[in-house]
C-alpha cells in the first residue's frame, strides 16, 4: 500500500527546500519515499509518495516544522485518493460563522449563545444540552429574522471550488449539519450540494418556540449518514471525504478515508491527523490530486 503526502501553501510559496526538508524527515523516520516530489500546482501544492502512512506524531512534527511558512500537510491512501462522496459540516466549515450565534446577535443574546456554542464545539458540554439551552434563549425569533440570518451568511474561502471540484469528478456532495434545515437548504442551494441534512426548527405562528424536535442530528447522526451513504452507494468508508471543525464532527472524520479538520477546534486537532490550519477549503482538492478551477 502507498500513501500520498501533499504539501499545500497558503500565503507563502512552497519551495523545493520545503519538499527536500520533508523528504529528509521521512527518511530519518523510516518512511521510505517511493516517488516525488511532484508539483501539482507550481509553488502551491506538491506530492511526495510514501511506502507507509506517517503516524499522528509524524504528522504533528511536520505541521510544526511547516507552521512558520503556513504550509498544510495532508496524507491519503494513493489507491483511493479521489473520493466518491464528500460529507461536509456547515457552521465554521462551509460558512464562516456559527448559525445560532449569528441569529442570537439579531436579538441581543449573542454572548450567551456563543459561550454555549464554544463549549459544545470543544466537547465540554453535551450537544443536545447545548442545543436545548440555545434554542430556549432564541424563543420568539421571527421567520423574518431567520431569513435575515440566512441572507447574511458568508461562505468560507474555497467552499464553491471544493463543491464544484468534487462534482466535476462525479462525487456526491452532502451538507450534513447539526444546525437546521432552514439554513442547510439555503446554503446547499447556494453552493451546489447534491443533498443536505440537518435538524428541524420548531415554529409556531411564525416564530421559534424555543423547543427542539426529535430526532436530533448530532455527532452520532453524522456518522450514521456516512454509513448510510456508504451502504447505499456500495462503496467503502475509504471512498469518503469528510470535513468539519467541531467535536461533533469527530466520529465522522475518524470513519472517513480522508477526514479533515478544517481550522479545527482543539478537540478535533487532537483527534484527527489531517488538518487544514492555514489554507482554504480548496486544500481538500489538492489532497486528492485535483487542482481547483474557477
Can you tell me whether residue 224 is helix, strand or coil?
helix
Q: What is the DSSP string of the chain?
A: --EEEEEEESSS---HHHHHHHHHHHHHTT--EEEEEEEEETTTEEEEEESSPPPHHHHHHHHHHHTTTTEEEEEEEGGG-S-SEEEE-IIIIIBSS-HHHHHHHHTT-HHHHHHHHHHHHTTSS-HHHHHHHHHHHTTT-BHHHHHHHHHH--BPTTHHHHHHHHHHTT-EEEEEEEEEHHHHHHHHHHHT-SEEEEE-EEEETTEEEEEE-SSP--HHHHHHHHHHHHHHHT--GGGEEEEE-SGGGHHHHHHSSEEEEES--HHHHHH-S-EESSS-TTHHHHTTT-----
Could you identify the residue written with the cell 462551509? 94
* Helices (H), ranges, 178-217: 181-191
Annotated catalytic residue 89: yes
Indicate which residue of 11, 41, 47, 91 is catalytic: 91
- Kindly tell me the sign of the dihedral angle through the C-alpha atoms of 216, 219, 225, 227: negative
Pairing of strands 275-276, 33-41: unpaired
Q: Pick the catalytic residue from 47, 72, 89, 239.
A: 89
Give ∠ CA 136-138-140 in degrees, rounded to 5: 105
Residues known to be catalytic: 89, 91
Amino acid at each position: 500500500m502507498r500513501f500520498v503526502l501533499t504539501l499545500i501553501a497558503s500565503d507563502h510559496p512552497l519551495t523545493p527546500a520545503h519538499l527536500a526538508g520533508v523528504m529528509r524527515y521521512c527518511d530519518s523516520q523510516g518512511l521510505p519515499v517511493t516517488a516525488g516530489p511532484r508539483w501539482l500546482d507550481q509553488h502551491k501544492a506538491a506530492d511526495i509518495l510514501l511506502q507507509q502512512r506517517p503516524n499522528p506524531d509524524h504528522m504533528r512534527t511536520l505541521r510544526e516544522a511547516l507552521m512558520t511558512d503556513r504550509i498544510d500537510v495532508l496524507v491519503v491512501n494513493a489507491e483511493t485518493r479521489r473520493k466518491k462522496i464528500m460529507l461536509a459540516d456547515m457552521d465554521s466549515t462551509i460558512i464562516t460563522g456559527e448559525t445560532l450565534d449569528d441569529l442570537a446577535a439579531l436579538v441581543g443574546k449573542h454572548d450567551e449563545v456563543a459561550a454555549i456554542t464554544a463549549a459544545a464545539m470543544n466537547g465540554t458540554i453535551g450537544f443536545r444540552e447545548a442545543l436545548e439551552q440555545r434554542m430556549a434563549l432564541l424563543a420568539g425569533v421571527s421567520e423574518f429574522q431567520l431569513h435575515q440570518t440566512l441572507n447574511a451568511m458568508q461562505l468560507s474561502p474555497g467552499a464553491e471550488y471544493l463543491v464544484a471540484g468534487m462534482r466535476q469528478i462525479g462525487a456526491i456532495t452532502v451538507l450534513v449539519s447539526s444546525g437546521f434545515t432552514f439554513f442547510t437548504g439555503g446554503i446547499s442551494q447556494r453552493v451546489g450540494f447534491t443533498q443536505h441534512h440537518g435538524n428541524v426548527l420548531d415554529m409556531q405562528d411564525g416564530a421559534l418556540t424555543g423547543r427542539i424536535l426529535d430526532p436530533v442530528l448530532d455527532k452520532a447522526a453524522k456518522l450514521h449518514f456516512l454509513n448510510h451513504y456508504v451502504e447505499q452507494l456500495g462503496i467503502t468508508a475509504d471512498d469518503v471525504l469528510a470535513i468539519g471543525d467541531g467535536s461533533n464532527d469527530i466520529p465522522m472524520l475518524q470513519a472517513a478515508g480522508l477526514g479533515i479538520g478544517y481550522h479545527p477546534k482543539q478537540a478535533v486537532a487532537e483527534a484527527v491527523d489531517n488538518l487544514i490550519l492555514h489554507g482554504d477549503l480548496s486544500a481538500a482538492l489538492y489532497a486528492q490530486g485535483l487542482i481547483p478551477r474557477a
